[in-house]
Amino acid sequence: MKTIYTFGGVAPLTCHAFSADQRQIALSKNNNQVEIHEQSGSGPNGDKFALKDTLDQHDLRVNGIDWAPQTNRIVTCSADRNAYVWTQQPNGTWKHTLVLLRINRAATCVKWSPKENKFAIGSGARLISICYFEADNDWWLAKHVKKPIKSTITALDWHPNNCLVAAGSSDFKVRVFSGYVKDIEDKPSPTPWGSKMPFAHLMTEFSNSLHGGGWVHAVSFSADGTKLAWAGHDSSLSVADATKGLTIFKLKTAHLPLLSCLWVSPSTIIAAGHDCTPLVFNVDGAGQVSFVSKLEEDKKGDGGPAKFSAKALFQNKDRTGQSEVADTVLNTTHQNQISCIQIVKGNKDRADVISTSGGDGKLVLWDLRTIEKQMKGLKL
């Protein structure tokens, strides 16, 4: 089952993040503002979101939002090279704190660490800022991970141990770095990715393809942190397994490029992108990735020609004098690219509800449990 929400206007949604209780959503409509919408009523589905607050502090387009569930803090980053941490005051308003990122290009993506004591920000300055709170000076400090990044960081994800961070980049590489800040946390225990983790240490590096293979659009660690999935612009989805000697399995799909990917169970990845519909992929015990199905069935016979026909186009032109074919509606729920997938209910081990947003300004909640029942042979 899916629920569709719109937030007024047709502006694309750059990114979105839910609060811990799923009643509030922070989103950016492709501009410099972050809007917080709250759901009224009691039911989780069907109730409309109403604008509650606008976080207006950035000067340029907001590129990333993340909402920390336990500490209820929002972090936003933007093309104006700044990031703000927003904390809610007792009266419900949001207070911002500037983060000293020390970057000279746009900030592109942001992610809270699992323990929420730090966050990582990727930027066009070819570095990752690992930011943590310094109580002495009452500010957020950034440490830089620089080498050997050669281009813009496009995607980030934290390992569940709160120390490793995976970064996808437009230099066609996926890298796993250590984000261990010794000032604020205890030494991490060894992981399959390596045992020594000094700050900014490059644990491993993967090439999206021997042939370049396009930008990396999304990275995601599995729930146990042993596998890393990423999506590249060559329409591929790759999974690397640290317990199997960092072997990569790359699936070249027959679809348009994927922009976002997410583990929803230990063996299932949901990814979406320019195809406007979420796709389900399975990772089996041997590490092989295979395409399972779309998350929604193609609507057929809804009237209107399903297939584009050049003959019909010219016939239409001749008959009516109009050059437009009446049917420009895609047979998917989203009418434009999906750029952001988030888990709303559950976690990477077992996600129950996920949300997608993208270029058509829609936010869609997908209830995976009911979809699993409706679609035969689909295991999520």
Partner 1 sequence: MSKNTSSSAFRRIDVDQFNEDNFKDEAELPAHGEAGSPAASQLDSGPIMSLIQGGQPAEALKTILAHAPMGSTKAQEEKDAALQLVLKVLLSVKQQSQVENLVKQLDNDQRDTLMKYIYRGFETPSEGSSAHLLLWHEKVYEVAGVGSIVRVLSDRTKV
- CB of residue 331 vs partner 1: minimum separation in angstroms? 16
Distance CA 289, CA 230 (A): 12
Rounded to a whole number of angstroms, the minimum distance from the CB of residue 122 to partner 1 is 17
Spatial CA neighbour of 156 closest among 172, 141, 169, 170: 169
The whole-angstrom separation of Cα 367 and Cα 308 is 32
Burial 342-361 (b: 16+ CB within 10 A, else e): bbbbeebebbbbbbbbbbbb
Q: What does the alpha-carbon distance between residue 161 and residue 149 come to, in Å, rounded to a whole number?
A: 23
Please say which residue, 150 or 299, places its beta carbon nearer to partner 1.
Answer: 150
Residue closer to partner 1 by CB (options 19, 209) is: 209
List of residues contacting partner 1 (CB under 8 A): 150-151, 171, 207, 209-214, 232-235, 252-257
- Closer Cβ to partner 1, 2 or 233, answer by number: 233
Q: Which two tokens stand for residue 6?
A: 């719109």
In the complex, the smallest distance separating the C-beta of residue 293 from partner 1, rounded to whole angstroms, is: 14
Considering the complex, state which of residue 194 and residue 214 has its C-beta at the smaller distance from partner 1: 214
Question: Which residue, 257 or 359, is less far from partner 1 as judged by CB?
Answer: 257
Q: How far is the CB of 125 from partner 1 (least distance, A)?
A: 12
Asked if residue 341 lies in contact with residue 278, where contact means CB atoms within 8 angstroms, the answer is yes
Rounded least distance, CB 271 to partner 1, Å: 13
SS3 content of the chain, % helix, strand, coil (to 5): 5, 45, 50
Residue among 66 and 171 whose Cβ is closer to partner 1:
171
Q: How far is the CB of 327 from partner 1 (least distance, A)?
A: 20
Listed in sequence order, the residues at least 6 apart from 357 whose beta carbon sits closer than 8 Å to its beta carbon are: 13, 15, 16, 27, 338, 339, 340, 363, 364
| Distance of closest approach, residue 274 Cβ to partner 1, in angstroms | 9
Structure tokens at 88: 């809610």
58 vs 126 by CB, closer to partner 1: 126
Distance CA 210, CA 116 (A): 36
Residue 150 or 379: which CB sits closer to partner 1?
150
- Residue 134 or 298: the one with the smaller Cβ distance to partner 1 is 298
CA distances from 62 to 14, 15, 108, 116, 327 (A): 8, 8, 8, 21, 34
Minimum CB–partner distance for residue 373 and partner 1 (Å): 29
d(CA 150, CA 189): 29
Q: Read out DSSP for 154-203?
A: EEEEE-TTSSEEEEEETTSEEEEEE---TTTSPPPPPBTTBS---TT-EE
H-only helix segments in the chain: 310-320, 368-374
Cβ pair 149, 167 in contact under 8 A: yes
Q: What's the min distance (Å) between Cβ of 189 and partner 1?
A: 33
State the first-to-last Cα distance of the chain, in angstroms, to the nearest integer. 14
